[in-house]
Amino acid sequence: MYIIVVGQGKVGITLSGQLSAEGHDIVTIDSNPRVLSRVQETLDVATLCGNGASAEVLEEAGAAHADLLIACTGGDEVNLLSCMAARKLGTKNTIARVRNSDYESNLRLLREELHISLSINPELTTAREIYRVLRFPASLKRETFLRDKAELVELKVLPGSKLDGLTLMDLRKLTNEKTLICAVERKGQTIIPDGSFTLMAGDRISLTAEASGLVRFMNDVNLPIPRIKKVMIVGGSRIAVHVSKMLQHNRIRVTIIDNDPDRCRELVELLPEAIIVCGNGSMQDVLLAEGIKDTDAILALTGEDEENLTISLFANYLKVPKTVTKISRTEFLDVYTNAGLDTIVSPKLLTANEIIRYVRALSSRSGQSMLALNRFMDGQVEAMEFLVPAGAAYAHVPFKDLQNKKRKNTLVAAIARNRQLIIPSGSDCLEPEDRVVIVAPRNVTISSLKDVFPGGSL
């Protein structure tokens, strides 16, 4: 696909790199020549210096024959104008990053007039991710698939739990719940395991389970299930506001600490039921005075990675049950994870994941569009949802007979058929109209089920 990316900030450069690595032709636009110089040094993409909302610049970039334009500058208005101009010039699809909630609500009414195929709000996307994790705080990451029938959660194997030392083929001896461990991270290495794989304390695992049975599974394997009643948030960002509203809707007490008096006054107006504290939340005495020892979860959401890391490490030292750490720089994800941090969220990666899913759906063939995409294990593993098309040659064939026709290092993690959830074994098979979750390492690019079953194509 021919794709134009307007804006080479954190999200833009991440998208340009990932889309280029997946084989797309990328043209990047930015008004800052120094930024474009860095892009040229690190990525194999074309660059163009100018205003991405200008019709002349977009025409020079090839908008007339582009398959997609992604507008992710720091200005909502620029992004909206860029999408409108590109569509007028002939670009087939457009995506706008829109951070202002007022614009986001209006887009539902004006999407056709604005010619926008998809809008993304990074802060709201991040808040939803945090809220999902806090609803099941034993998880490091949590997503639902197959119309909320299946959960895909990331957990840590704790010393003394029944998972420590367990061979995967014996998992069903521990629990009657439908479960499948589909990825394991051990000492920085990511593995798609088979039945002979043995878990160890310290492993991070991605687990597929029936949504209604996840709590029972946790009890069966002796993993704790903490409850969240009080949350402390450091940093009064937009993410903090979004997630606070979600938490308060579920009657969870929220305290927000921010060191900007003007922002604190705004927060009082936006969140009248929350406790707003004006102070430096990176200072131990402030955190202790506001009751960090008695909180169930702390969310480090300041604009500085170093502060967020320090706050979360201090919370871990005090044995706060749950920590969530927002980071911008993702080069050191392995270091942060090995340092003992709990859940880590990156707005730019979450936004990029949403857009990558959309791009892969556009490039899919034969109606096998990707319905959902999520990344686990610090972005090294992908879970993708597809619809099985009519007439697929791999349908009705037991998985044990498809091993030589299935792409290596891929796993069928869950199947939804009518109202039934199937956690598959070797005797199960796919049928047309099934919704199926495929798990694979990120370096195994998958856009459709044809990429999973190349030996069993239509």
Give the pLDDT band (50/70/90) at residue 366: very low
116 pLDDT exceeds 90?
no
Mean pLDDT of the 99-107 span: 74
pLDDT (tens digit per residue) in 412-434: 999 999 888 899 988 899 999 99
Phi-psi region of 187 (alpha: psi -120 to 50; beta: other; left: phi over 0): left
DSSP helix/strand/coil, 272:
coil
**C-alpha to C-alpha distance for 377 and 442, rounded to whole angstroms:** 10
Residue pair 130/324 in contact (Cβ under 8 Å)? The answer is: yes
Annotate 145-184 with b (16+ C-beta within 10 A) or e (fewer): bbeebbbbbbbbbbeebbbbebebeebeeebebbbbbbbb
Q: Does domain 230-320 have CATH number 3.30.70.2860?
A: no
Higher pLDDT, 445 or 46: 46
- Fold annotation for 2-120: Rossmann fold (3.40.50)
| Helices H / strands E in the chain, number of each | 15, 22
Give the pLDDT band (50/70/90) at residue 364: low
| Per-residue model confidence (pLDDT) at position 26 | 96
| Per-residue model confidence (pLDDT) at position 458 | 42
Give the pLDDT band (50/70/90) at residue 359: confident
Q: For 97-101, 220-224, 391-395, which range has the lowest pLDDT when averaged over its residues? A: 220-224
On the 0-12 / 13-18 / 19+ scale of CB atoms within 10 A, 294 is: exposed
Mean pLDDT of the 139-151 span: 81
CA–CA distances in Å: residue 58 to residues 52, 115, 444: 6, 15, 33
**C-alpha to C-alpha distance for 318 and 299, rounded to whole angstroms:** 14
365 pLDDT exceeds 50?
no
Q: For 100-104, 300-304, 388-392, which range has the lowest pLDDT when averaged over its residues? A: 100-104
pLDDT (tens digit per residue) in 153-204: 888 888 888 899 999 989 888 888 888 899 998 887 888 898 899 999 989 9
Residue pair 120/351 in contact (Cβ under 8 Å)? The answer is: yes
Give the pLDDT band (50/70/90) at residue 378: confident
- Where in the chain are the domains? 2-120, 128-220, 230-320, 350-456
Q: What is the pTM of this model?
A: 0.81
Handedness of CA 360, 366, 372, 377 (dihedral sign): negative
| Per-residue model confidence (pLDDT) at position 335 | 74
Residue with tokens 């089920």, as numbered in its chain: 449
Q: In what order do the strands lie in the sheet with 230-234?
A: 275-278, 253-258, 230-234, 297-300, 322-326, 343-345
Mean pLDDT of the 374-397 span: 87
Residue pair 13/39 in contact (Cβ under 8 Å)? The answer is: yes
347 pLDDT exceeds 80?
yes
| Per-residue model confidence (pLDDT) at position 362 | 79
Mean pLDDT across the chain: 88
Question: ∠ CA 296-301-307 to the nearest 5 degrees?
Answer: 100
pLDDT (tens digit per residue) in 208-265: 888 778 888 888 887 777 789 999 999 999 999 999 999 999 999 999 999 999 999 9
**C-alpha to C-alpha distance for 34 and 28, rounded to whole angstroms:** 13
On the question of a common fold for 128-220 and 350-456, the answer reads yes
**C-alpha to C-alpha distance for 60 and 51, rounded to whole angstroms:** 11
> Which architecture does CATH list for 128-220?
2-Layer Sandwich (3.30)
Q: Does domain 350-456 have CATH number 3.30.70.1450?
A: yes
Tokens describing residue 230: 């009080």
pLDDT (tens digit per residue) in 264-301: 999 999 999 999 999 999 999 999 999 999 999 999 99
Annotate 237-267 with b (16+ C-beta within 10 A) or e (fewer): bbbbbbbbbbbbeeebbbbbbbbeeebbeeb
Question: ∠ CA 455-387-15 to the nearest 5 degrees?
Answer: 90
| Per-residue model confidence (pLDDT) at position 367 | 47
pLDDT (tens digit per residue) in 42-80: 999 999 999 999 999 999 999 999 999 999 999 999 999
Closest of 116, 77, 137, 143 to residue 350, by C-alpha: 143
| Per-residue model confidence (pLDDT) at position 20 | 92
**C-alpha to C-alpha distance for 324 and 299, rounded to whole angstroms:** 5
| Per-residue model confidence (pLDDT) at position 110 | 66
Residue pair 65/3 in contact (Cβ under 8 Å)? The answer is: no
**C-alpha to C-alpha distance for 275 and 338, rounded to whole angstroms:** 33
Higher pLDDT, 280 or 22: 280
Residue pair 158/225 in contact (Cβ under 8 Å)? The answer is: no
